[in-house]
Structure 1
């Protein structure tokens, strides 16, 4: 169902361990799984009553939750949460508890979902279930009362969860490990608007890492100017006619944001196979209007099968002196931000917006010319394309 209770598609879950775990109807004009939340039509009243929504991964998790009286539960249709789903949920509450499956894929999906919800202004909690159980398994093994107790005693705030994830990645017995954890959390801390809340979280982090609060404040003060500039840039507040000051980050002249996006995205692509595949799938290689970058990407594609994604290897494999120089210069590019995943998403969005707006201008010029010649049928076709492109631009901005 959609949020109005209208049937829009069918979905199922395998009974065993086969993949894919979930199968949905193909997407249509009335069904886009990234814009729907399973069970939202049933849960809406309870979500408003509780002023909190519980987001789980699959259909059976929602079914089990309702069997045990936990009626403010919805599922993200077996996918990681999307901004559209977050905005749909925002109609009913600004508080969310997310509890995805405890496997690796579930943990990654939860992490991505947290970022999206936090950016949309939700108050987010995370519930990690014990013994690798998913919500369906936990509820049937224990009961709804045990779930409620776990929510009250074990649910973590967004920053607490981020802290524990960071601690698991770094050795906090060393000074370097503690510094790495603080560095990873700085962008999250900087986004907290309430000074009281910020102070409490800094106190919590300092106690957990056995460091002084003053050291965290010092790092935050040192980074705030840079982080604010980076945040302004990646959120698209700069247009093709404005400039972004990067002299504190790299020894370069001022360059327009679109050029930075192209170069930085290419830099991220040539150092990580997954990023390379992802951007190629979404944008292709023709997204850049800089021939030198397109040449580098085509070369990486040529050696793709034998490339180990080490920068030194890439330079060694280039025979052409001019191309080798281009690769070396690209590898020297500094990335203006610390959250690589967020940067990749925003670079892609910026480039998509640039291409859409460029095409819109082309259509406007053609329509203006055709109106003089009374070419009605062609004008209507172009107007339809123009309207569609404007809608795509608005979706990207949202």
Structure 2
């Protein structure tokens, strides 16, 4: 079977050194239940475990979101690895010499331009650091950073550098090292001169903040002007390495603490992240001046289930925080908002009030989103006027009407009625009337069409399966469940059924099984599922494998399954021939109608033979 450049014996070697319980157990708390291990699914949010690991078969499967596969697929899903990256990581963890050079990243090897850009960015980052720390050109920049409260240790930790004011310092050095300058321009390090001849540095006279991907590879820069130059912050343009909507500053350094705490702190800028890091908030990342996107949430969703939004305290920052709430909550996060007073940003607050107070009052004191929304809208009303107070109360009750938890609603109603000296019962009655009106105007319910054991939205929506599945569908799944663990039966099915499966995905899985056993492989589900390298097929295979193969298997049972599958296909052909015969007769072609009728009669006789 084809596995890209990885020989099957290499995959076998890696899998033999990794028990799936150990692999999954690093990320999910598993408890033993009979022959299985169960835990909360890391791929969608749930309150009771639906995630199962089967040591005997070396697979995992979630009955909630449908995720499933073997150890390699789990690492690919949880870490975002490619297939080769997962193999490499597992080999490294087991101190294995695979005897082949897989390379650090198959995607890079397939794209030499990307490989060159990674090299160029690494070189450029070291150059900027050297200029900052060791040259006269960088002296002013170093003084600026120290005046902002950054120690040498912080500067080194975050790889901060300085791009000199010369027009072509970097361009000359890149050309000297034989980097293709058009590629460097395409990659965002240089700019082309308007005359069309030559290149100059993209960044000049700026403090340089390296931006890395989650693996720690330098992919872009953020440059901050020290004086009045505009724009104050200048990021690299989007390139084949850098996508603003998918990149988070400091994700590579913060990742271990994010995973440990299951919590991420979201900032707006580089300095906020760096100063917060020194204050002890080492699970912070920044969106780098761009709005929070669904792609950003994809990056952190596998790492954490809680987000604290710590944006600037000015109007722009608080508006951005408000807009982030639905994006984060829809992605399934428990969200809190850090409220910074007096329009300060986190950097300013830490400088003015100290690290300990920032952690205690701002981060640990972050408020639930409902409380933040009440605060956010409150600034629009003149609270010293009675009429404005009433208008605010109506707005506040509309916000609380959307809260699903009765206890939570009651909690905030008590706070509001107490603050404004209204009767609790009257306030609660008004709230309930708002909810009742909303229900009357929305007959579609809560629009959560596919709930299954969830507290929040699922990562993978599942198709709802009818309670009574067709006989052919069950027969195909039961047959595949047996084939997964029996080479002889698989070969028998190939001879007597071949590609006549009615469900395309079932047919694809059968084709892989035919090929797998045709190569002389012994039944080994862990190895087979690693060969698939297709997420959907791995999930299907793990789901079918969970059915087991204890069907009182004998030749008669297998033939019965094959018959049910064939019968359905023949029934569909008979229906098709009936429609074709009617169409031919309607068009006046009686000869054609007669031929089709004969074919239909033959199919009916064939059906009766089962």
| In structure 1, C-alpha distance between the alignment counterparts of 2:298 and 2:234, rounded to whole Å | 24
Larger radius of gyration: 2
| In structure 2, C-alpha distance between the alignment counterparts of 1:126 and 1:153, rounded to whole Å | 10
After superposition, the C-alpha distances for 1:223-255 in whole angstroms (9 at most, x for unaligned) are 33554577788x9999xxxxxxxxxxxxxxxxx
Find the partner of 2:413 among 174, 180, 202: 202
Structure 1 residues 116 and 176 mapped into 2: Cα distance closer, same or farther (>3 Å)?
Answer: farther
Instruction: Report the counterpart of residue 389 of structure 2 in structure 1.
Output: 178
| In structure 1, C-alpha distance between the alignment counterparts of 2:243 and 2:447, rounded to whole Å | 26
Instruction: Report the counterpart of residue 296 of structure 2 in structure 1.
Output: 85
Structure 1 residues 54 and 20 mapped into 2: Cα distance closer, same or farther (>3 Å)?
Answer: same
Instruction: Report the counterpart of residue 167 of structure 1 in structure 2.
Output: 378
SS in 1 for 2:311: coil
1:102 touches 1:133 (CA, 8 Å); kept in 2?
yes
Find the partner of 2:266 among 39, 55, 64: 55
| In structure 1, C-alpha distance between the alignment counterparts of 2:441 and 2:290, rounded to whole Å | 29
After superposition, the C-alpha distances for 1:310-344 in whole angstroms (9 at most, x for unaligned) are xxxxxxxxxxxxxxxxxxxxxxxxxxxxxxxxxxx
2:213 touches 2:219 (CA, 8 Å); kept in 1?
yes
User: Following TM superposition, by how much is the alpha carbon of 1:57 offset from its aligned partner in structure 2, in angstroms?
Assistant: 0.7
Residue pairs, 1:286-301, within 5 angstroms: none
Q: Which has the higher helix share?
A: 1
Find the partner of 2:329 among 118, 128, 131: 118
User: Following TM superposition, by how much is the alpha carbon of 1:191 offset from its aligned partner in structure 2, in angstroms?
Assistant: 3.5
Q: Does 1:104 align with 2:315?
A: yes
1:80 touches 1:110 (CA, 8 Å); kept in 2?
no
User: Following TM superposition, by how much is the alpha carbon of 1:175 offset from its aligned partner in structure 2, in angstroms?
Assistant: 4.8
RMSD of aligned C-alpha atoms?
3.1
| In structure 2, C-alpha distance between the alignment counterparts of 1:156 and 1:34, rounded to whole Å | 26
User: Following TM superposition, by how much is the alpha carbon of 1:105 offset from its aligned partner in structure 2, in angstroms?
Assistant: 1.7
| In structure 1, C-alpha distance between the alignment counterparts of 2:228 and 2:424, rounded to whole Å | 47
| In structure 2, C-alpha distance between the alignment counterparts of 1:107 and 1:8, rounded to whole Å | 29
Q: Does 1:128 align with 2:339?
A: yes
| In structure 2, C-alpha distance between the alignment counterparts of 1:197 and 1:87, rounded to whole Å | 28
| In structure 1, C-alpha distance between the alignment counterparts of 2:299 and 2:398, rounded to whole Å | 26
1:96 touches 1:122 (CA, 8 Å); kept in 2?
yes
| In structure 2, C-alpha distance between the alignment counterparts of 1:229 and 1:21, rounded to whole Å | 51
User: Following TM superposition, by how much is the alpha carbon of 1:173 offset from its aligned partner in structure 2, in angstroms?
Assistant: 4.4
Instruction: Report the counterpart of residue 67 of structure 1 in structure 2.
Output: 278
| In structure 1, C-alpha distance between the alignment counterparts of 2:425 and 2:301, rounded to whole Å | 36
1:70 touches 1:144 (CA, 8 Å); kept in 2?
no
User: Following TM superposition, by how much is the alpha carbon of 1:59 offset from its aligned partner in structure 2, in angstroms?
Assistant: 1.0
Q: Does 1:36 align with 2:237?
A: no
Instruction: Report the counterpart of residue 375 of structure 1 in structure 2.
Output: none
Structure 1 residues 153 and 36 mapped into 2: Cα distance closer, same or farther (>3 Å)?
Answer: closer
State the TM-score, normalizing by the size of structure 1.
Answer: 0.52
2:337 touches 2:367 (CA, 8 Å); kept in 1?
yes
2:401 touches 2:434 (CA, 8 Å); kept in 1?
no
SS in 1 for 2:218: coil
Aligned residues: 238
Higher relative contact order (CA 8 A, sep 6+): 2
Q: Does 1:2 align with 2:201?
A: no
SS in 1 for 2:220: coil
User: Following TM superposition, by how much is the alpha carbon of 1:174 offset from its aligned partner in structure 2, in angstroms?
Assistant: 4.4
User: Following TM superposition, by how much is the alpha carbon of 1:65 offset from its aligned partner in structure 2, in angstroms?
Assistant: 1.7
Moved more, 66-75 or 6-15: 6-15
| In structure 2, C-alpha distance between the alignment counterparts of 1:6 and 1:187, rounded to whole Å | 47
Instruction: Report the counterpart of residue 429 of structure 2 in structure 1.
Output: 218
SS in 1 for 2:219: coil
| In structure 1, C-alpha distance between the alignment counterparts of 2:384 and 2:342, rounded to whole Å | 26
Question: Which ranges in structure 1 are unaligned for 5 or more consecutive residues?
Answer: 239-398
Instruction: Report the counterpart of residue 189 of structure 1 in structure 2.
Output: 400
| In structure 1, C-alpha distance between the alignment counterparts of 2:229 and 2:389, rounded to whole Å | 41
Structure 1 residues 19 and 65 mapped into 2: Cα distance closer, same or farther (>3 Å)?
Answer: same
| In structure 2, C-alpha distance between the alignment counterparts of 1:61 and 1:183, rounded to whole Å | 36
User: Following TM superposition, by how much is the alpha carbon of 1:71 offset from its aligned partner in structure 2, in angstroms?
Assistant: 0.3
SS in 1 for 2:249: coil
1:97 touches 1:124 (CA, 8 Å); kept in 2?
yes
SS in 2 for 1:38: coil
| In structure 1, C-alpha distance between the alignment counterparts of 2:248 and 2:441, rounded to whole Å | 32
| In structure 1, C-alpha distance between the alignment counterparts of 2:334 and 2:343, rounded to whole Å | 25
Residue pairs, 1:281-320, within 5 angstroms: none
SS in 1 for 2:336: strand
SS in 2 for 1:96: strand
| In structure 2, C-alpha distance between the alignment counterparts of 1:9 and 1:236, rounded to whole Å | 40
User: Following TM superposition, by how much is the alpha carbon of 1:153 offset from its aligned partner in structure 2, in angstroms?
Assistant: 6.7
1:170 touches 1:177 (CA, 8 Å); kept in 2?
yes
